[in-house]
Structure 1
């Protein structure tokens, strides 16, 4: 999980979903892609709302419609990511098929019963979904090589080749959550100092969430999707985000060291850039800080009573606690 819609938006959308998993919100989106009412069925809501046109619903195959409120940061990220995705697809990169709308655009701003949404549609990516337990050294190396190939296909960012990334630790130290948690505030200040003292590194146009959930594998090579978190970032930051399941919850002690080594070797083979495991510790903590900064906006329903929403709220709180603990441990490791 990277970005996440607020629980209030997820609940509002789910309230429109009927017993057949259809929604008038999705119908408004589908109309722009020539889909009849009821063709799209609810799949999930996380960084965006996702509905699927199942097999047989459309001659273009299985389709995934993704949309988010246009006035929300999630909508902006979706729109920017979809445009970037379309550019990569046109260049022949290993990404999901982008399906143009009826007016031949890759992103639409659409009026719906829940307000304006930015939307895009992708074709289903054939292939297998792997989890960490199914990886061997060869697959891990291919995963790293595929991320390097993504960076090459994306080209160079428009900004300077080397620059300091934004400082999420300083923002977190000043956030209300840190004011109520002195230990978190102190750790964030410590990591901000470490980040400030770190040298600038080359930037890439990264995926931002190149984890296994967002890949499908065919003949030993993955195709990716969900580029909402894409943008200019240090290569090590994109690697740390992608490989966070290999890194695990204890900074400096990778949970799957052999697979991590294979991933980094695969990345180096294609990119020519050597990234050592210790270089991933600070960007992994920065990722945690970004998530903690978002948590207050995400957890915006007090004491949810609906069973599925209560379960989601609990799962998210557990996730954010893990990020909190990782950030504190990282400060201890790096001082």
Structure 2
């Protein structure tokens, strides 16, 4: 996976990949971080925790990326280790968190392999809460036991189980309300007219080219997908993963959900997978459960679509700069590097698909 950046503790940690769509603006991350004291406590988190019966100071800062995440560490609560996730209610990230949490609760009730959802004191899975930084949508999950695997730790069997688990997720989610066959949305057309493209003629040409390719593509099966079924959102027990972080879930083409999951296996060069054997095993595992055959070449255009979505959000995310704040300056630099990688991937994809 390309570099996921998140603020964790006092530094910026490069974990694996910026979220497919939903990185919080840097100003939101900075504002929250300014409320965190030397013991990693925050009055914002305390307001959230109160709705789940947690005393002030129980939640400690963990990271901020697509949402703010605080953890109640071992011994802080009888319910075990808890992760409180929240995002501004007036920001798209808040809406995504709320919708993803409701979907997560529905899957958990159906017995799907997902993290445990912890209800609030009034027995709801999502709360809208007034805090010192404004209203937040919040949800709380229990810690998922199990191992976190990196690509380097995968073998063919684990990759096949990963693919099978995504297919099982699609089955548990049920059929989307929209027609079974549908065109993808077109982020390339939006990017072609965005300010970034106006300032970069080469990007504009590539975006228009890919929009034409997408328009000519046949309709594909839709699923209610996870949207970010990457390894860092999974924990493994006895060869099978449980998932969390459903903020990007929604109705999307099956190939798009697969492409978002296997970005690490695809690598930075479209049409030339970085880990072809593992990718083949993943797709075979997906086919075994779903009955749907997805070929590696079907992932090239959806992968570029994710890159276009992220480039469309770059200006909104990079809304402040502060060289004097080391962690913020480092985070901004990591994001700019990530967006450049997405830019280059989009240009290369246009060359491959013409």
Q: TM-score, normalised by structure 1?
A: 0.99
CA shift, 1:161, in A, is 1.1
CA shift, 1:298, in A, is 0.3
CA distance in 2, matches of 1:303, 1:28: 28
Select between 296-305 and 99-108 the one with higher mean Cα deviation: 296-305
CA distance in 2, matches of 1:220, 1:2: 29
CA distance in 1, matches of 2:323, 2:238: 44
CA shift, 1:231, in A, is 0.1
Per-residue CA distance 1:159-210 (angstroms, 9 max, x = gap): 1111112100000001001100000000000000000000111100000000
| SS of match in other structure, 1:142 | helix
**Could you say which residue in structure 2 is the equivalent of 1:70?**
89
- Give the 3 Å change call, closer, same or farther, for CA 53–303 of structure 1 in structure 2: closer
CA shift, 1:302, in A, is 3.1
CA shift, 1:304, in A, is 3.7
Q: 2:267 aligns with which of 248, 267, 273?
A: 248
CA distance in 2, matches of 1:305, 1:225: 35
Per-residue CA distance 1:260-298 (angstroms, 9 max, x = gap): 000000000000000000000000000000010111100
CA distance in 1, matches of 2:173, 2:277: 28
CA distance in 1, matches of 2:202, 2:324: 31
| Residue pair 2:321, 2:332 contacting (<8 A) in 1 also | no
| Residue pair 1:2, 1:209 contacting (<8 A) in 2 also | no
Q: TM-score, normalised by structure 2?
A: 0.94
**Could you say which residue in structure 1 is the equivalent of 2:228?**
209
| Residue pair 2:260, 2:306 contacting (<8 A) in 1 also | yes
CA shift, 1:2, in A, is 4.1
| Residue pair 2:321, 2:329 contacting (<8 A) in 1 also | no
2:185 corresponds to 1:166: yes
CA shift, 1:83, in A, is 0.2
List runs of 5+ in structure 2 lacking aligned partners.
1-19
| SS of match in other structure, 1:67 | strand
Per-residue CA distance 1:98-151 (angstroms, 9 max, x = gap): 000000000000000000000000000000000000000000000000000000
Q: What is the number of residues matched between the two proteins? A: 335
CA distance in 2, matches of 1:159, 1:269: 25
| SS of match in other structure, 1:71 | coil
**Could you say which residue in structure 2 is the equivalent of 1:269?**
288
**Could you say which residue in structure 2 is the equivalent of 1:279?**
298
Select between 261-270 and 156-165 the one with higher mean Cα deviation: 156-165
| Residue pair 2:183, 2:220 contacting (<8 A) in 1 also | yes
CA shift, 1:303, in A, is 4.5
CA distance in 2, matches of 1:155, 1:191: 31
CA distance in 1, matches of 2:147, 2:37: 30
* Greater than 2 Å deviation, 4+ residue runs: 302-305
**Could you say which residue in structure 2 is the equivalent of 1:96?**
115
Per-residue CA distance 1:59-97 (angstroms, 9 max, x = gap): 000000000000100000000000000000000000000
| SS of match in other structure, 2:130 | strand
CA distance in 2, matches of 1:79, 1:300: 24
CA distance in 2, matches of 1:193, 1:297: 26
| Residue pair 2:108, 2:114 contacting (<8 A) in 1 also | yes
